[in-house]
Amino acid sequence: MKQNKEILDSLTINKMVVIGVGLIGGSLAKVLRTKGMVKQLVGVGRNEQNLKRAVAMGVIDSYSLDAAEAVQGADLVLISMPVLGIEKVLASIKDSLSPDTIITDAGSAKGIVVAAAKKVFGSVPAKFVPGHPIAGSEKSGIEAADEELYLQHMVILTPLPETDRGALDIVSQIWKAAGAEVVTMDVKYHDQVLAATSHLPHLLAYSLVETLAGRNENREIFRYAAGGFRDFTRIASSDPTMWHDIFLANREAVLKSLDAFSEGVTMLRKALEDQDSQSMMGIFTRAKSARDHFTKLLAQRAYVEPMNESDTTFFAGKKGALTGKLRVPGDKSISHRSIMLGAIAQGETEVSGFLEGEDSLATLQAFRDMGVVIEGPFQGKVKIYGVGMSGLKAPPGPLYLGNSGTSMRLLAGLLSAQSFDVELTGDSSLSVRPMKRVAGPLAQMGAKIETCDGKPPLTLRGGSEIHGIHYEMPVASAQVKSSLLLAGLYAKGVTRVVEPAPTRDHTERMLCGFGYKVDVKSLSGTSKEISLQGGGVLCGGSIDIPADISSAAFFMVAASIVPDSDITLEHVGVNPTRTGVINILQKMGADIQLIEERIVGGEPVADIRVRASQLQGIDIPEDQVPLAIDEFPVLFVAAACAKGKTVLRGAEELRVKESDRIQVMADGLVALGVDANPTADGISIEGGRYQGGVVDSQGDHRIAMAFSVAALRADGDIEILNCANVATSFPDFVNLANQVGMNVKVEN
Ligand code: S3P
């Protein structure tokens, strides 16, 4: 027998005993043998035939029918058998164990196993490490043993305060060696979680099959039972004894989960009986989004929580001219607002052209979490069942808004006047973005809003009395304006917001579209006052969202800088508060033509034809800055390809976007050999030839896409790091880009 320390140092075991050589025990034995980690593997069971088969299959070296005899001199004992039998086994081996023998088990309920150990030994032995590999299947027996069973599966260990740390380490290392991810958990918590996620579904599967099988027409039912029945009931083929034991062993927690489930089924039954479509759709859409989210989580890919922000790299290079027609995805700003306004409107709102990017989906999910029934998105279509001005409900937890500053700032306004408390959180980029700009004026309106040193998370206390204010924005920000106007809907009196320069006016336009009166008054220069009276109602309707000019901008620059290019971007929103990018590019000499300008759902829309041309460096007019605020990363690329110098001033806002866009772009351009000099409020860029190289987008979607465009003129390929967040605004960017002749490859 080895000392525990020796085992840990060498990760080899002289003797291991597996009591219960079935799927779970047999699979671990198999993988440890293959890896040469165990010198002698002894199986114990009651069925000699089974044990002989295990020897013949090479899973174990030898077997014994007597557990007490087998465990003598063992370094490690794994008990992998139905949980109700564990007490008896522990009692039988108690006197044969040496003080150094480590015992672990694989039972699906942990409270009962710990209680059994206490009963047998007086107190739970320090070398006993309760465990639970979550890797079972409906298959059982040694024939099903598979050395890859634990690969990427979880093993939960539930050590007690008295558990020996060395023993815990060894058990943990062994499971890890089998490929599992090991976590530790409190015994009681384990049993509650597993009751809901594993035990209840098994109970329901057994019950459904039994109910259907008991009906007279059962033959017929089973003959036609395809996908749904099969998927739902696969686990009813699991080992009955094992599950009988688990349900009894974790009875209380299972009953609690069953009660919660029964309540849910009763509600659904009532909705069906009453033909209450809205309640039914509410249940189904919430469940679908939760299930989809869960599937993506399992695939390491959550839609509200972008992939580990550092794990997607773009490799972009040169190709020929860009040609063809393309429609980029829907406008992000309008997509956010369609959900927000649709949710608090009366009646239904049908949206088409919705952007299915992570940012707008975060907004959608937030309103689902607040009880709004939302169908879709499906191919850009979304249907929102409005709950009225005061119909939102407290969400079950913090609202996670991912990378989306627009969601957080606009929701801060909208939610500051609700009856419930709510916390708004986001990813690492959003968590360092300034929120005082909304929290300050909202507090003046009476909101009880807390920030973390001016940054997220934001906490909003319910039941605040909101009143209108007159607010002159120090920075031209559509997000701040919109946040205050949304709070103003709930305020006593009139809310007036003065913008020093024009910013995107989608909130004003859309409020009008929802039947809410908004006044806009021109003040001196380009300044405007936007005001509304609180206490009105919004009426749902339909919204046709145009393609996002901010996404189209990448292709405008791409086609401008690659000789002989000629592309048409279809159905792009050309609201004059957004067309700074066109104005700036045209001033640089770009050949951009707006075709068939029209109004769609209150927004100006056009097809945009862009042909290659020699760009010239310019001083960017400062009045264009708020009108092109999101397009500067790609405009800097245009500047790098232009003749002469381009200078930007008055754009310090760029330093607090998804990244510090002045610095991150300057760093990337300099890495490619571009003469780029950042200043406090802008940058100067001398156009010319540049090379390929490695640049880091710092998780900023627009910077990742801008450098994909830059590659079209670089003398070598560009490797762009941290591109996962492209999915926040333009999930299909790479495909579309390659379709029109760009050259971008993705590596995850
Ligand atoms: C947005 C406004 C802009 C923009 C952001 C979206 C909006 O921010 O940068 O991507 O939808 O209102 P600011 O208004 O803070 O400049």
Annotated catalytic residue: which of 105, 191, 245, 630?
A: 630
From 477, 509, 661, give the residue whose CB has the most ligand 1 atoms within 8 Å, as the site to mutate.
477
For atom 13 of ligand 1, the residue with the nearest CA is: 477
Nearest atom in ligand 1 to the alpha carbon of residue 437 is 15
Distance 699 CA to ligand 1 centre (A): 18
Q: What is the CATH number of the domain that holds 570?
A: 3.65.10.10
- Which three-class secondary structure state does DSSP give residue 332? helix
CA 333 – ligand 1 centroid, Å? 7
Please tell me whether residues 691 and 633 are part of one structural domain. yes
- Do 39 and 172 fall within a single domain? yes
Instruction: Give the pLDDT of residue 300.
Output: 34
The CA distance from 607 to 573, in Å, is 9
Q: Are 348 and 242 in a shared domain?
A: no
On whether residue 109 sits in a domain, the answer given is yes
356 CA → ligand 1 middle, Å: 18
Q: Is the residue at 555 inside a domain?
A: yes
Structural domain boundaries, residue 497: 332-544
Mean pLDDT within 391-404: 92
User: Which residues approach ligand 1 with their CB closer than 6 A?
Assistant: 333, 406, 477-479, 482, 503-504, 629-630, 653
Residue 253 lies in a domain: yes
Residue 294 has what pLDDT? 65
Radius of gyration of the chain (CA): 32
514 has pLDDT over 60 = yes
Helices (H) and strands (E) in the chain, counts: 26, 32
Residue with CA closest to ligand 1 atom 5: 406
The answer to whether residues 512 and 522 touch, using CB atoms and an 8 Å cutoff, is: no
Instruction: For residue 446, give the amino acid letter.
Output: G
Residue 405 and residue 435 share a domain: yes
Question: What kind and span of H or E run contains 606?
Answer: strand 603-611
Tokens of 710: 């830059």
pLDDT digits 0-9 by tens, 569-619: 999 999 999 999 999 999 999 999 999 999 998 899 999 999 999 999 999
The reply to whether 378 and 525 lie within a common domain is yes
531 and 581 belong to one structural domain: no
Segment holding 176, helix H or strand E: helix 165-177
Contact of 483 with 445, CB cutoff 8 Å: no
> Is residue 300 a part of any domain in this protein?
no
Q: Alpha-carbon distance 100 to 324, whole Å?
A: 73
The pLDDT assigned to 218 comes to 67
User: Hunting for tokens 């695939």 — which residue is that?
Assistant: 299
290 falls within a domain: no
Pocket mutation for ligand 1, best pick of 404, 406, 497, 548 (most atoms within 8 Å of C-beta): 406
285 belongs to a structural domain: no
102-105: strand order across its sheet: 62-64, 38-44, 13-19, 76-79, 102-105, 128-129
Please tell me the distance between residue 205's alpha carbon and the centre of ligand 1 in angstroms: 49
- Annotated active-site residue 274? The verdict is no
Q: Are residues 539 and 571 in the same domain?
A: no
Cis peptide before 457 (omega within 30 of 0): yes
Range in 104-118, 138-152, 677-691 the model is least confident about: 138-152
| 228/169 same-domain check | no
Residue to mutate (ligand 1; options 479, 627, 658; most atoms within 8 A of CB): 479
- Nearest-CA residue for ligand 1 atom 10 is 630
Q: Whose CA is nearest to atom 9 of ligand 1?
A: 630
Q: How many domains does the chain have?
A: 4
pLDDT tens-digit readout, 324-370: 999 999 999 999 999 999 999 999 999 999 999 999 999 999 999 89
Strands 38-44 and 62-64: parallel
Whose tokens are 């023998």? That residue is 101
The answer to the question of residue 31 being in a domain is: yes
Alpha helical stretches, state H, 541-579: 549-561
Last residue of a domain, one of 155, 185, 215: 185
Confidence (pLDDT) at 296: 52
Say which residue the tokens 């049993």 belong to: 191
> What pLDDT score was predicted for residue 304?
41
Q: What is the per-residue pLDDT across 470-503, written as a single tens digit (0 to 9) for each?
A: 999 999 999 999 999 999 999 999 999 999 999 9
Is 306 inside a domain boundary? no
Q: Among 204-213, 266-275, 342-351, 445-454, which is the least confidently predicted range? A: 204-213
Domain-terminating residue out of 504, 529, 544: 544
Q: Residue 503 C-alpha to ligand 1 middle, in angstroms?
A: 8
Nearest CA, atom 4, ligand 1: 630
Tens digit of each residue's pLDDT (9 = 90 or more) over 161-182:
999 999 999 999 999 999 999 9
pLDDT at 278: 87
* 731 preceded by a cis bond (ω within 30 of 0): no
Average pLDDT (214-242) is 79
> Tell me, what's the pLDDT at 217?
66
Note the pTM of the prediction, 2 decimals.
0.77
728 CA to centre of ligand 1 in angstroms: 14
Distance 477 CA to ligand 1 centre (A): 7
Residue whose Cα lies nearest atom 16 of ligand 1: it is 477
